[in-house]
Structure 1
Amino acid sequence: MSNPSETRQPQTQRFGLLWPDLNDGLSYNDVVRSSDSESTLIEFYSSKYKNSAPLQGWVQRIENGQIRVDGTVVPDPETILRVGSELVYHRLPWREPDAPCLLEVLYEDGDMIALNKPSGLQVLPGGLFQQRAVLTQLQWQASKKQEPHPVPVHRLGRGTSGILLCAKTKLAKTRLAAYFANGTSYIEGNRKTNMEMCGTRKITKIYRALVTGLLDEDKVLIKQPIGMVQYPGVAKGLYVASSSGKPALSKVDVLERNMQGNNTLVQVEIQSGRPHQIRIHLAFIGHPLLGDPLYVGGGQPMCFDPEFVDGSFAQDGGYQRPTKPVPGDCGYFLHAHQLILSHPTTNEVIKITAPLPSILQTQDEAKEIRIN
């Protein structure tokens, strides 16, 4: 195997604007269809978007003037809707939870850019974080340069740090997304024809993680399938270890055991990209990530209790945040450390490395950094 070329920036490049106190809110558009004719405004929203707010919450939103019908604010929940009417619900601006804003550039060329994503920053807008996301910073940065913004081609959990790969062209986006969809493995050779590359996985993802307990074996291969279950506070469902789920494969190598702290530093190479795969797989073998608030032994969530408490959406009528952990909660130690891939247009093999947080360094690595 030829040595991959590891391109380093001549000096560290960082970008990121401070987040405003409040975001801009959100607007949701609908058109009344024949199946909804003669429905009232409250019937439409409380039935179609019952996961967003309870009945009284939608009443509050309507009476608060947050819904327009054909461009006019309609504060009466009992208004009868007509087929073809355009509805717009405006979610009020809110202060999103604290999140980092600074992004480090690890690699960049005309086709792609690799960023070092900090823990605590979401990749794409969603849930509480509709503005405070990597995509927003990419949009702001591109607008200053008056050019199209790069697009992430995969995701990292909000609590996961490390390499996030983004495409700058449509061709790069298509090919890189295909790499991730096809799984990962080491690439043999740095130049191959299209025929030779057919069926060959062209990307390798290597992570560092700190897990609870001491792994007995130095190497572990985890093949546990990952599926989905319903879970309070997660509208589309929660990914868990499930015998009926989709195949997933993780290779785990022990780097260092901390006898006193009863934890183990591991390297994980994933050859599939299921959501929360590393967190689920390590929990499945009885060694969940240290500090993971959600996944426990067996690769299952800590609790299914649907209890609610006061939260960020109370003033806007929406459901309040569950007391129990959800996937976006942070606290664990997981870092996308290395990415080895075939360049989407040149086929050159490129290795990208994100500096390790101190807690995920071996003793020898930490010592070498102190000496240097």
Structure 2
Amino acid sequence: MEARAPETFGIPWPDLNDGLLYTDDLSLSDCDLTLIEFYSRKYKNSAPLQGWLQRIQNGQITVDGTVTTDPNKSLSGLSRLIYHRLPWKEPDAPYLLKVLYEDDHMIALNKPSGLQVLPGGLFQQRTALSQLQWRVSKNISAVASQGKHPVPVHRLGRGTSGILLCAKTKLAKTRLSMYFADGTSLIGENRCLKEEVKTTRKISKVYRALVVGILDQDEVIINQPIGIVKYPGVAKGLYVASPSGKPALSKVYVVSRDIQGNRSLVQVEIQSGRPHQIRIHLSFIGHPLLGDPLYVNGGQPRCFDLEFVDENVAHDGGYQRPENPVPGDCGYFLHAHMLVVHHPIWEEVIKITAPLPSVLQTDDEADVHQRKGIRQHLSN
């Protein structure tokens, strides 16, 4: 089936989300615990002890369908516990998404900076996934939409813009996920490194970024491993440059240098997909992304007080939003510019491009973009 014409879609966010329900089915090993012991031990990263006491006393927890406000209630084995996180107003986020490519099996979107891909933390509803689900619900009467439930097959950081690839069928999801798991490597013509590369890899991603400082070399290969350290406000830990981490490879090509502004415009091809890989790798070589609030030289976090945790309780009983920078903070300039992929069903090689933001364009590219805009205006 041929790709459909591009469109822009999105529904403005409701003021409050729907809250969340978290269900736990107890095991026999939990039967000697009290209600407060269970939650404060198992979910200590979600809230401090005082926060869980607040949630219980607010009537936000049921045991076998009955609201329980006694934190010292003894639990019996095989009970079902449900914690109701109350609705809240999520931080501001853009909601419009542009379709770059779509067929019956997959869809590629141009994600704006500031929009989270999947639910997590404060963003449970204001995500790209929610907009995809609402789009399907709106068009559910259309035959082409039935049975199609698009889901992202990879992630982009909240502050990263550009191509987000999503699968619309189970088979496409399985195959595209395998392509990403195998690592990424350019298919066919490698414009980033100015050479021809033949490879068995099925997918490649090229990013554009603005970094601090002037790179001496036109091409740089970074193979610094990436690992995890304990970090306040990030329950699963923070990804950093670490000798004991997992292998990661980035190929960097300098597009232009701004000597006066002490910054460089670069393209980056990644052959692995570690979280925050480009931010970590470029900061590791001494050229962090311009405006990055978190990563500094060496691929490490700006704040070194990694053991500090603020025990103050927020309105919902959870921890206060940490004062230190966290991975989801925006402000840097990183754009997933080009993706080349073997179609998961019929194996055709497809190239998808997301237009560059003006700050990531060279003067020549900006001139071309302006001329195209003028021609489109005149044709209308």
TM-score (norm 1): 0.92
The DSSP-based 3-state class of the residue aligned with 2:136 is helix
Contact kept in structure 1, 2:3 and 2:103, CA below 8 Å: no
Moved more, 147-156 or 20-29: 147-156
The runs of 5 or more residues in structure 1 that have no matched partner are 1-6, 190-198
Aligned amino acid, residue 176 of structure 1: L
Cα distance in 1 between the residues matched to 2:317 and 2:304:
24
- 1:188 deviation in Å? 4.2
Aligned counterparts, 1:65-80, within 5 A: 65-80=59-74
Cα distance in 1 between the residues matched to 2:371 and 2:43:
58
Contact kept in structure 1, 2:107 and 2:168, CA below 8 Å: yes
Q: Does 1:116 align with 2:110?
A: yes
Contact kept in structure 1, 2:3 and 2:102, CA below 8 Å: no
Cα distance in 2 between the residues matched to 1:370 and 1:187:
30
Aligned counterparts, 1:22-37, within 5 A: 22-37=16-31
Contact kept in structure 2, 1:309 and 1:322, CA below 8 Å: no
- Displaced runs of 4 or more, over 3 A: 7-10, 307-310
The runs of 5 or more residues in structure 2 that have no matched partner are 141-145, 190-198, 373-380
Contact kept in structure 2, 1:122 and 1:133, CA below 8 Å: yes
Match of 2:229 in 1: 229
Structure 1 residues 309 and 67: CA distance shift in structure 2, 3 A: closer
TM-score (norm 2): 0.90
The DSSP-based 3-state class of the residue aligned with 2:315 is helix
Match of 1:41 in 2: 35
Cα distance in 2 between the residues matched to 1:162 and 1:229:
28
Aligned amino acid, residue 21 of structure 2: S
Residue deviations 1:230-267 (CA, integer Å, cap 9, x gap): 11111111111111111111110101111121110000
Residue deviations 1:17-69 (CA, integer Å, cap 9, x gap): 11111101111111222111132111111111111111111111111000001
Structure 1 residues 282 and 8: CA distance shift in structure 2, 3 A: farther
Q: Does 1:128 align with 2:130?
A: no
Match of 1:149 in 2: 149
The DSSP-based 3-state class of the residue aligned with 1:316 is coil
Structure 1 residues 187 and 141: CA distance shift in structure 2, 3 A: same
State the aligned residue count: 354
Q: Does 1:101 align with 2:89?
A: no
Cα distance in 2 between the residues matched to 1:240 and 1:308:
22
Identical columns (%): 72
Match of 1:60 in 2: 54
1:138 aligned to 132, 146, 155, which one?
A: 132
Cα distance in 2 between the residues matched to 1:44 and 1:350:
50
Cα distance in 1 between the residues matched to 2:249 and 2:38:
44
Aligned amino acid, residue 289 of structure 2: L
- 1:135 deviation in Å? 0.6
Q: Does 1:308 align with 2:302?
A: no
Cα distance in 1 between the residues matched to 2:311 and 2:38:
27
Match of 2:343 in 1: 343
The DSSP-based 3-state class of the residue aligned with 1:122 is coil
